[in-house]
Amino acid sequence: MDNVALVVDDLEAAIAFFTELGMELEGRALNEGLVVDQTVGMDGVRCEIAMMRIPDGPGRLELTRYLTPEASPPEPPNTPPNTLGLHRVMFQVEDIDGTVARLRPHGAELVGEMAQYEDLYRLCYLRGPAGAIVALAEQIG
């Protein structure tokens, strides 16, 4: 897998959120033109992207802000975890409580509550940029 894309309405805030989570900004670009239109199946696409990478890891997250056509808001605004389609993106963290505390000033809110799976993991779901669900897992055993 090369990357997962997340459409956001505030690119700077999304970059700050995922930087606080420990990702690094790999690069930014303005994408437009025939190839972009053909790839996404829309005409007149202009979008800003920021590619975030996991330090020393294989995963990347593409943050995309559509300038034209304007992004469509989800219905309902904060879709529940059982909505069809892309469900969530999960990150392994070393200190889940500290990570949640650092992300709160960036708009993160718990979807449910902190939970423990057996003696193996502490887990939670957060609402992140553009209402996306960001899951965190801390291995404890």
Summarised one tens digit per residue, pLDDT across range 86-123 is 778 999 999 999 999 999 999 999 999 999 999 999 99
How many structural domains are present in the chain? 2
For residue 140, which amino acid is it? I
Q: Are residues 21 and 61 in the same domain?
A: yes
Say how far apart CA 114 and CA 117 lie, in whole Å: 10
Show the domain range for 41: 4-68
Whether the ω angle into residue 58 lies within 30 degrees of 0, i.e. cis, is: no
For residue 9, the model assigns a pLDDT of 94
For residue 104, the model assigns a pLDDT of 97
Mean pLDDT calculated for residue range 39-51: 95
Region for 22 from its dihedrals, namely left if φ exceeds 0, alpha if ψ lies in -120 to 50, beta otherwise:
left
Q: Are residues 45 and 93 in the same domain?
A: no
The CATH number covering residue 107 comes to 3.10.180.10
